[in-house]
Every structure is written in C-alpha cells, then in structure tokens.
Structure 1
C-alpha cells in the first residue's frame, strides 16, 4: 500500500482508538462510581443515541467518503467540495430533528402508559445527545473523505478530553444525569465543526439529485437495519427478557471487547477513499494484489488481539471493573473470539462501497437482522449475555462469508486462504499460552506475564509455520525503517526473526 494510505490509516486508527479508550475509561468510572444498574441505564441511553445517529445519517457518510475523492480528482476546489458536504447535510439535519421528536414522543407515551420508568430528565438528555452526535458525525465523514486525518485527530483529542473530564465530574456530582451531560459535552467539538459546514453555500457537485437520492435510499435502508438490529440490539433483548443489571454486564463486555476489535476496525476507516482515488486515476481498476495485501495485513493484527483478549478476559474484567462485574468475563471471551468475523466483514464492505455495490451489503444486512432477532429471541431468555454474544458472533460470521463469496475474482486465491489460516492458528496458540499463564498467576503480574507469553508464542508460531509471505515482510520492513533509530532497527531485527526475507530486498522502499 502507498505510504499515504498507511499514514492516513494510522492517523484514523489513532483517533478511533483515542475515542475508544476515552469511552472505556468513562465506562470504568461510571461502573465504579454508580454501580451496574446505573451503568446499564447509561449504556442504554448511549445505544439509543448511537442508533439514532446512524439512522439519521441517511447513508450520506458513505456518499461523502466515496464522492469527495471523485470531486477532487475532477478538479473541484475545497469550497465546492465543502458545499457538496453542506448539500448532503441538510437532509441529515431534518431527519435528526424528526428522530429526536419521535424518541421523545415514544418515551413520553411509554411512561404515560406505565410501560417503562425512564425519568424524564434522562429522556431529554438522551435526545440532546442523539442530536449533537448525529450532526457531529458529519465532521468525521467530511474529513475522512477529504483525507484530512490530522484535523480529525485534533478534533478527537478535544472531544476526548472534554468527555473524560465531564463524564467523571458529572457522575461524581450529579449521578446518571451528570454523566450524560459529560457525554454531550464530548460531542461539542465535532458538532461545532459540522455547524461550520452547515452554513456553507450548498452545491450538488455535478451529481443529480436523483442519483444521490437513489444511493442514499439504499444506504439508508441498510443503515437502519444495521443500526437497529446489528448495533448492540442485544441490549434491548437483555432489558426486555432479563434485567437492567445484565444490560450493564453486557455493556461492560462490549466496551472491553472493543479494545481488541476497534484497532483493526479503525484502520479500515480510510480504505474507501483510497480505493475510490485509485479507481478514478486508473480507469476503474485497482492494482493487482491490493485487496489480498489488505486482508493479510489485517489478519496479522486482528487474530492475536482477539484471541489473546479472550484468553485473559476473566481476570482482566475483575482487575478493571471489580469482582461485582465478574459475570462479564465469559461474555468478553465469546465476543472476542467472534470479533475477527466483524473485521473482515468491514474490509469487504469498504471495497464494495467503493465499487458502488451497496445492494449486496443491503442484502446481507437484511439476512443478519433476521438472524439477530431470531437468535436473540431463542437464546437471550435462557442464556442471557453469553447467549447474546454467541448470536452476535454467528451473525457477523454469516454476513462475512456471504460478502466474501460475492468477491469472486478479487484476489481471492488459495495462497491467501492458507496465509490467513496459518495466522489464525498462530493466534490460537497465542491465546492458549496466555490462558495457561493467566490461570496460574493471579493479579496484574499474571496478566502481564500472560500477554508476554502470548506474544512470544505468536511470534514463534508465525516463524515455524512460515505464515508471513516475503512480500509482506519487505513491506513491513520498509515501514519500520522510517521509525526513529531508537525503535526502528530493533523492530526490524525482530521482524527478521519472525519472517526471514532476502537481505538484498530488505530495503526496497514502500510505494
């Protein structure tokens, strides 16, 4: 991959991981300060806001990230491209207002009928969070489409600092309501940037309203299905069939599992603009072997992170959240084992979106929604959080397999499958080694020893199975050579032990 896509992917991943760590620390603080039930209430409010924001987006995020590189390649300036973003932002603003009104009305009606007991103040704060989060999402979509990942990272830093300080301070001073105010404050920086786009003179960028509306309609249906049925839908079933406390346990497990999941997911964030830019400059074709290289690169990262987390999940949950959250441990393990399916689903989705093949993604989302509802209805009443986690993993695995089957002729070779299988096997050995150590050594020292043992086992297995092709080793070596002298040479020597490659080719510069 080109150095630009590597740097952009790393910057995007850094911003995403910063948000993840901020949310993770916030959830720990809330769990410690307010307990499982309050944590469940806040988790449900965050789910409502996130789901509403995804629905209100109307698919414009994908359109922005696909069309902005096209407009730049066609010679349109920054002002025209910003105007195009403002053009797409208007329907998002309208849909956001309508959703907030709908949520408020439904909550009032439910409380009036005695169905639920959510306090009015929490309903108001949840609606406000939905509003600022939905509008603020325009900032990320625009900046990623423009490949301005530095600006996106700076906004993320401001948001994270505000959220972390005010969520903790609000929880200490005002309980659940104060914590929700902190989450709202954390969205103000991207909201302010998005407001600047909203007041920009609008331009359709040369696209017909019919074309944009057609793409938006398909993406909107897919996003609605995904947001409602695939984005933490288990919380709803747990609340209905089990208890708000189990919602808190599952929310904690999702937050912890995201530590392993979100690094590779965030790295995929800038792939779609990269694919589109290549297509625009090469008459709709991508360089041979590019998609296979992407798949291998993500396999090296995803499998050890996920399987390693599954191995140490139980002692890790207790060490971070306390003994009262111990039931979350088995849920974390199940979610972590199923996470690679979600990552590879995201990889194929980014490619299909860049090719404007949204129909297959809509079909698989519909299949996933049916499976999620049926699975949760069958498993959650009897098995609670662990059952919901198993259903989640199976749904994403099914979607990923269907999407991969639709990628016929796109670098899907037997050698790629063999490499991925070797990496997965090495990661499984990593998890077994970590599990063995964590089971015999208690406390933080045991966790540290388990992580070290897992990492060494993974490296050894990669070497023994010759899992890393020489072309990947040369590319990684060229990237490591750009690091500061304090780290670069050491990491290059470690790479040469894991994946031996020709010294004559070792210093081939990255493309």
Structure 2
C-alpha cells in the first residue's frame, strides 16, 4: 500500500474522529446536564441546522473533493486555486442570504409559537452560517491534499466545542449549548472567509462537467439527508414530542461512533480514486474497491454488532437511567448502521467515476421510502417504528448500491467475504451479550468487550473471512505506528489468516 494514502488516511481519520467524538461527547453532556426532553429539542435543532447546510451546499463540498485532487495531481495548482475562488463567491452569497432570512424568521413573533427562547433561533441561524463556511474550508483542504491542516483545525474545533458546550449547558441551558456548537465551527469558518478578498474571479473555470457533477451531488445529498441523516426526528417531533426525539438520539449517536468510526478511514478515498481514475486501468480501481470494502466491513461490522450487544450496560452508564427505554431502538439503529457503513467505499468510487447521477436517483428513492415511513410507521409505532424503518431503508439502499456496482459498473463485489465477516461479527455480538447475562457488576462491560473481540478474531480466522492480501494491507497501515505497538499489531494480525506471510501487496 502506498505510504501517501496511508498517511492521508490516518490524518483524515484523525479529523473525522475528532468530529464524531465531539458530537458524541456533546450529546452525552447535553443529556446529563439538561435531561431527556431538552436533549430532544437540541437534537432537533442540530438536525435542522444540518439539513439547511446541506441545502446551501449546492454540491460544492463534493466538487472540491472530487476535482481539486485531479488538478493537483496534474500540477495545476493555480487552476485549482481559481476554481476554488470561483465557487466560493456564489456559495458565500447564498450563505449570507440564508443567514439573513433565518434571522428575519427568528425575529417574527409568529415563527416561534413554542416556549423556546428567541435567542435559540438566532443561534441556529448563526450555526448554519458558520457550519456552511466550515464545510467549504474542509472541502478545499481535503481537495488540495492538505490533510495535516484539516486534521489540526478539526481537532481544535473539537476541543472548543466540547469545552463551550459543557460551560454553556451548565450556565445557560439550551442557548448555551447552541453557542458552544457555534464556537466549535468558528475556526474553519474564519479560514474560508479569506477567499472573499480575491479581487479577480474567473467563472469560466467552472466547466459543464463540474456543474453537472455538482448538481447531481447536491440533489443526491438533499435526498440522502432523509435516508442517512436524522429525518426521523422531524416525524417524531411532530407525532410524539421532544422526549421521543431524545430517546432516538441515543441510538443515532451510538451509531455515529460504532459505524462512523471505520468510515473515518475512507476520508481520503475520493481523492485517491479521483487521482487514479484517469490514469490507472479499470481493473486496478476495481481491486482497490474490493479491498477497501472488505477492510471497511472487517472494522464496521464487529463494532456495530458488538456495540449493539453491550448497549444494555452502556446506555445507563453514559446517559443515566432516564434513558433506559433507548436501549432497544438503539440496538436496531446501531446494527443497521454497521452494514450501511460497509458501502461507503462504493460511494466514493462511483463519485470518482462521475456516477453521481445514480447516487442522486437512488437517494431520491430512499428519501421517498423514508418519508412514507415517517407518515405511516412512525406516527403509529413511535421510537421503535422510527428505528426499524430507518434500518429497513438503509439496508435496501445498501443492496441497491451493490447491485449497481456489480451489474452496471461491472465491478466484482466481494459478497462471499462480506457474508463471512457478517457471520463473524454476529458471533462477536452473541458472545458479548452472553457475558452481560452471566457476569454482573462493574467488570461486566469490559469483560464482554474483551470476549467479543476474541471471538470475532477467532471467527475471522476459522471462516477465512479476510484474504491474506488484506491482512498485509492492514499490516502496512500498522507499520507507521511506534515499534512496540507495531509488534503487538503484527502479532495480532498474524492470527487472522492461515496463510504464511508471503503475500505481496501491489501499490
């Protein structure tokens, strides 16, 4: 495996870990400080913010991540700079107009019939502006392959968000929490604003293929917001109130940690595929997709099944007894998210091969299914209905995407290895839950996690779930760690495959 992609993957994972961990810890703090109903209200505000930010994106973030690496690889840095400047002007204008409109809406007395303070509505408007600008900065940094800067600024944002959410929630309640989120988005947003001082902007650099890609990416992202985001909170809020949203949020937050963790390793893949799709044979791209999908499933499936298995002990420990009813829906959401995460490599490959049109059309179908469930299942069955419908739609979307990759893109999907990895992960979950049933007390949770990990490792070896070449790829990633960690990692990996270490991994 090339050292460059390993380094970029590590830095991208570090940035993503800071984002995911920041969201997880923020929600735990909010739950502890403000209770179930207030947690639901904040979660609804955060979801609404993310939806508006997606609406304002216009596909620019994906466009930067897709085309800037190609220009950088061709040593066309000046053209990449001009493209960024040309995209930022209309993007920033749309963000400012949206901010002004939200402020006017917040100031209108009839716009806030509930008991929520008006200050929270203004803070949501500010958060929309800051997060939209921050997304542009992240897209630029990743597109230009500046993963060190992206990781450093994301970690800084994570630290600021956690500290300010804790202080704000303790002294000013919901408004203080939203202000903490605003502070966390500020560093990257400030970095994006520097593009406003570019005097000469050539809009001709935005070629028709860029416009087409951006349009499909944007429309697909809007549709995806109903499938992969938290659209269920909208229907729950309307039908069952803020407390039900708070209960479901527990499962959604755990799914971000359990399933999104492995996804952090895919942050550099779009740039990786984009650099090679024009220069490498299609067979090389297909093999990279298969290997990436297997390794992502190797990490995501046991984390999802294992986390779902220990939730009866983990939810009360982190959130308190008030959230006990969140365990069952959380188990459904987390397990389904593990499967859905395994399809992320395919999404990046489709984007690199300019098939954002399929992503758009499939997400439209998924959005229609999510809305139908929101209008029928969720009003009747509440939180459990929301969790089950979300899982069903995501599994359907995963199957549809894999079918398209196999049939339309003629790219072999490693179904056999994926099935074996899923079986190994299921055994991991069963073992961890059995420990929780048999062992009680403070040691039950760590013992359950340890036993589940050992069972998974043994099952992967017994079922030959991971090919030897993938083990070597994992070993190459661990080669950059400290020597002591490297030796432990290498010895653990040697137990995964029955084949001797003679496999050469192509770069």
TM-based fold match above 0.5? yes
Deviations 1:120-156 (A, max 9, x none): 1110000100110001111111111112111111101
CA distance in structure 2 between the aligned counterparts of 1:204 and 1:352, rounded to whole angstroms = 29
Alignment pair present for 1:91 and 2:90: yes
2:214 is matched with which residue: 205, 213, 216? 216
Alignment pair present for 1:123 and 2:126: no
1:168 is matched with which residue: 166, 169, 175? 166
Alignment pair present for 1:371 and 2:376: no
1:234 is matched with which residue: 229, 232, 248? 232
* C-alpha displacement of 1:293: 0.7
* 1:258/1:127 CA distance change after superposition, 3 Å: same
* C-alpha displacement of 1:303: 0.6
Alignment pair present for 1:455 and 2:453: yes
Q: How does 1:218-367 map to 2 (within 5 A)?
A: 218-227=216-225, 230-282=228-280, 286-367=284-365
**Which region of structure 1 is more displaced relative to structure 2, 473-482 or 183-192?**
473-482
* C-alpha displacement of 1:169: 0.7
Match of 2:66 in 1: 66
Q: How does 1:69-84 map to 2 (within 5 A)?
A: 69-77=69-77, 79-84=78-83
Alpha-carbon contact 2:59-2:218 (below 8 Å) kept: yes
Match of 2:48 in 1: 48
* 1:479/1:268 CA distance change after superposition, 3 Å: closer
Alignment pair present for 1:486 and 2:478: no
Match of 2:23 in 1: 23
**Which region of structure 1 is more displaced relative to structure 2, 151-160 or 336-345?**
336-345
* 1:283/1:496 CA distance change after superposition, 3 Å: closer
Match of 2:3 in 1: 3
Q: How does 1:197-216 map to 2 (within 5 A)?
A: 197-201=195-199, 203=201, 207-216=205-214
CA distance in structure 2 between the aligned counterparts of 1:363 and 1:316, rounded to whole angstroms = 38
CA distance in structure 1 between the aligned counterparts of 2:97 and 2:226, rounded to whole angstroms = 17
* 1:92/1:283 CA distance change after superposition, 3 Å: farther
CA distance in structure 1 between the aligned counterparts of 2:76 and 2:170, rounded to whole angstroms = 50
Alpha-carbon contact 1:51-1:228 (below 8 Å) kept: no
* C-alpha displacement of 1:158: 1.2
CA distance in structure 2 between the aligned counterparts of 1:435 and 1:366, rounded to whole angstroms = 37
* 1:106/1:386 CA distance change after superposition, 3 Å: farther
* 1:319/1:437 CA distance change after superposition, 3 Å: same
* C-alpha displacement of 1:188: 0.8
TM-score normalised over the length of structure 1: 0.93
* 1:495/1:341 CA distance change after superposition, 3 Å: closer
CA distance in structure 1 between the aligned counterparts of 2:281 and 2:12, rounded to whole angstroms = 27
Match of 1:156 in 2: 154
Alpha-carbon contact 1:59-1:217 (below 8 Å) kept: yes
* C-alpha displacement of 1:196: 1.9
**Which region of structure 1 is more displaced relative to structure 2, 1-10 or 379-388?**
1-10
SS of the equivalent of 1:289 reads helix
Deviations 1:365-408 (A, max 9, x none): 11001100111222212221121111111111111211111113
* C-alpha displacement of 1:35: 1.0
Alignment pair present for 1:468 and 2:431: no
* C-alpha displacement of 1:495: 1.6
Match of 1:141 in 2: 139
* C-alpha displacement of 1:204: 5.2
Deviations 1:303-345 (A, max 9, x none): 1000001101121000101000111111210011101332133
* C-alpha displacement of 1:427: 0.5
SS of the equivalent of 1:263 reads helix
Match of 2:406 in 1: 408
Structure 1: gaps of 5 or more residues: none
Deviations 1:17-66 (A, max 9, x none): 11211221121111111111221121111111111111111001111111
Match of 1:442 in 2: 440
CA distance in structure 2 between the aligned counterparts of 1:488 and 1:73, rounded to whole angstroms = 31
* C-alpha displacement of 1:102: 4.2
* C-alpha displacement of 1:205: 8.6
**Which region of structure 1 is more displaced relative to structure 2, 198-207 or 46-55?**
198-207
TM-score normalised over the length of structure 2: 0.94
Deviations 1:429-450 (A, max 9, x none): 0000001112233344111011
Aligned residue pair count: 506
* 1:202/1:286 CA distance change after superposition, 3 Å: farther
SS of the equivalent of 2:27 reads helix
